[in-house]
Amino acid sequence: MKMTQTLGAGAVALALAALPARAIDVGPADYTILPSGTALAMLYLQHLSADSLEVNGAAVPGSSFEANVGILRGLYYTAFGDLPAAYHLVIPFADIDRARIGGADQPTSSGLGDTTLGLTVWPVQPETPETGTSFGVSLFATLPTGNYDPERLGIGEGTWSLTPQIGVIQGLGGGFFFDGALDIAFQGDHREAGAEHSRSPSWQLQAMLRKQWGPATSLTVGYSGQRGGKQKVAGAETGLKTHRDQLRLYLTHFIDPTTQIQGLLARDFNVEGGYKYDSAVQLRLVKVF
């Protein structure tokens, strides 16, 4: 299959490789257990920039990508039987400024992404957070509610996905903590213009070392690795997949007891089958109710 045919058949799939909305990203201390009845309102603002694209083991010259992404997220902490639990609601939206492949600008679609609903339960709770273990099990369902056009690069996927995830916080003493998560995403096949689009399961490993200065401020270094997710259109591989290694740096601070601000700077250092981000910058605002 020629490169031009591969890129044409995989145009919509490329959008999924370009935008991170389908990933269930975890930040430092996200698997902390909060009291039942607590609610969180969260706003994420991201800017993504890439100057290279790799398909089928080769760089595609003249390719670049730039987008602004927002995510509205809500959490409500409760109990599931005798276990602490939390419900999740995630709604992404995006404005794609540029999507260029081989020197040619691609048609894009901006707007709302697919809605994700989730549930987390914690079968293991720490007796002493400074040195104890928190272990949670989550299930996320992403519904095809977003803006989707198979002829354009966009944020909607046009199908459902299920993502089970496990997460852990391990207190190491001295204000240090390990935060980790592992998930696997299963996506439903769907047909567009008579052609079947499919993606194999993909998994993501996230690991972070966090230094906490009291309850208000922390600095975290982290790693995210994604694998799998090979994409096919009409039974032919597009050359696109989920293969990304990324380094991350977080700074988090409570500006008052119920308002938190977090900054993230990330950079890809190994990507196959997608855009390689030179920089990914995120600002997260959290309000506790």
Q: Is the pLDDT of residue 278 over 90?
A: yes
Using 50, 70 and 90 to split pLDDT, how confident is the model at 19? low
Q: Is the pLDDT of residue 182 over 60?
A: yes
Q: For residue 12, give both structure tokens.
A: 């919509």
Q: CB of 24 within 8 A of CB of 31?
A: no
Q: What is the pLDDT of residue 9?
A: 28
Report the domain count for the chain. Answer: 1
Assign residue 142 the CATH number of its domain. Answer: 2.40.160.40
Using 50, 70 and 90 to split pLDDT, how confident is the model at 184? very high
Q: Which domain holds residue 158?
A: 3-288
The structure's pTM equals 0.89
Q: What does the pLDDT look like over 24-82, one tens digit per residue?
A: 899 999 999 999 999 999 999 999 999 998 887 788 899 999 999 999 999 999 999 99
Q: For residue 72, give both structure tokens.
A: 């509205």
φ/ψ of 145, rounded to 5, equals: -100, -5
Q: What is the pLDDT of residue 227?
A: 93
Q: What is the pLDDT of residue 23?
A: 65
Mean pLDDT, residues 246-264 taken together: 98
Average pLDDT, the chain: 88
Q: What is the pLDDT of residue 74?
A: 98
Q: How far apart are CA 122 and CA 202, in angstroms?
A: 24
**Interior angle at CA 127, CA 124 and CA 131, nearest 5:** 95
Residues 6+ apart with CB under 8 A from 39: 74, 75, 76, 77, 288, 289
Q: What does the pLDDT look like over 85-144, one tens digit per residue?
A: 999 999 999 999 998 988 988 888 889 999 999 999 999 999 999 999 999 999 999 999
221: helix, coil or strand? strand
Q: How far apart are CA 184 and CA 195, in angstroms?
A: 25
